[in-house]
Amino acid sequence: MAYDFDLFVIGGGSAGVRAARISAGHGARVAVAEERFWGGTCVNVGCVPKKLMVNAAEYGMWAEDASAFGWNIENHGHDWLKLAAARDREVARLSGIYGKLLGGAGVASFDTRATFLDAHTLEVGGKRVTAERILIATGGRAERLDIPGAELGLISDDLFTLKALPKRIIVIGAGYIALEFACLLRGLGGEVEVLYRGALPLRGFDDDIRAALVEAMTAQGITMTPDVTPTRIARVDDHLMVSLSNNFMREADAVFFCTGRMPNTQGLGLERVGVATTKHGAVIVDDDHATSQKHIFALGDVIDRVNLTPVATATGHALADTLFGRNPRRASYENVATAIFTSPPIGTVGISEAEAAARGPVDIYVTRFTPMRHVISGRVGRKTLMKLIVCQVTQKILGAHMLGEDAGEIMQGIGIAVGMGATKQDFDRTIGIHPTAAEEFVTLRTRVRVAGVLAAAK
């Protein structure tokens, strides 16, 4: 059968655009459909605009700290609309680049929704289009809790359309989005409370980092409320009233649901073509990202594996090379370094102490200190924590974790070392860059504890 395209991509985010562009570069006839905005969540309502707002919040803290270094700066307050305009210009610029990249590579683009009619046929803006291979890269969507009055709350996307900073803000959730939002909203002048159902936020991250972040967020005036869930939201006059599972109530001017994201597979017609999904809607794929229909693939947040933009682009590139570049390969999901842009930020690569200890005995190295900047500024609660988890048998670094200034920037280099299988001795013989916080990672000499011995003995 003659198809219209060799590859049709549903979704114009990081995974889809990279796969489409590289495939076209290998000579394939490629098309992409995007119904909302080019660049996906990251560019439009995620990483990029959020990081710009984090930067804005940091300037406020730096202005406050400047007097300790001899600067006489008057802070006349923050202009929300000026920041929003600058942020939106950059988002529009980046979103436009995605379209230009596709056009320059010879990819056909459709600004509309695409849905399955049969295994090789899609409805694209009212037209029928056929493709030999199809890639699902539709990303995820934010979810509200299923409670009365949930429609009165905002989701993460809504941060970027607010016309003004709400005064009293409740953030519901314990993941990285909730904590990043809480920090930036506080940094820009809001009164913020975070509600979460566990004892500590950031489930799955290292416990030392989790506890240290709660301490740091509390020090900057964010109210951290664990072991609670909202049960109802109601509007009372000009504000919102949030009822809680502990029988207390909270008043707020805005409530953000940062309670997770779901794979964006509704209405694609996957059941029509036999593409299997989990109960939460994530597309099930094998190690080569093929679905239950071997000519249909899926990448990125829609498979709900490691939901990070660099992972999406890496896997998209690998898939294109495999399908059309005569270079079969896979991008690894192991030892993916990542950052959380809280205040202070987190950088991490590898596994947590708890996960490592479950596998066998490990040596734990931890340091905590006040960075040089804040020895002078006197800012309370702005400590740095660094941690290495080392396998006793192989001496390989299994995990590296940091909370502190520039954690994301520092962790990128550590990620290279961990990915290459570096040992504690490799770190020990590396000369530090002085005076920096980063040098602490190569000067950790004193083991603070051993974990996982009992697990290894079983």
Q: Could you list the active site residues?
A: 434
CA distance 368 to 402: 10
Phi, psi angles (nearest 5°) of residue 194 = -110, 125
Chain position carrying tokens 């990043």: 180
CA distance 190 to 195: 16
The b/e string for 95-128 (b: 16+ C-beta within 10 A; e otherwise) is: beebbeebeeeebbbbeebbebeeebbbbbeeee
The b/e string for 220-252 (b: 16+ C-beta within 10 A; e otherwise) is: bebebeeebebbebeeeeeebbbbbeeeeebeb
**Residue 209: both structure tokens together:** 């980092």
Angle of CA points 11, 54, 65, to nearest 5°: 170
Task: Report CA-CA distances (Å) from 410 to 151, 214, 438.
Answer: 40, 21, 6
The residues, any chain, with a CB within 8 Å of residue 54's CB and separated by 6 or more, are: 180, 183, 184, 187, 341, 343
Looking only at the bridges linking them, the beta strands covering 121-124 and 249-252 are: unpaired
DSSP code at position 393: T
**Residue 229: both structure tokens together:** 């869930």
Looking only at the bridges linking them, the beta strands covering 449-451 and 362-369 are: antiparallel
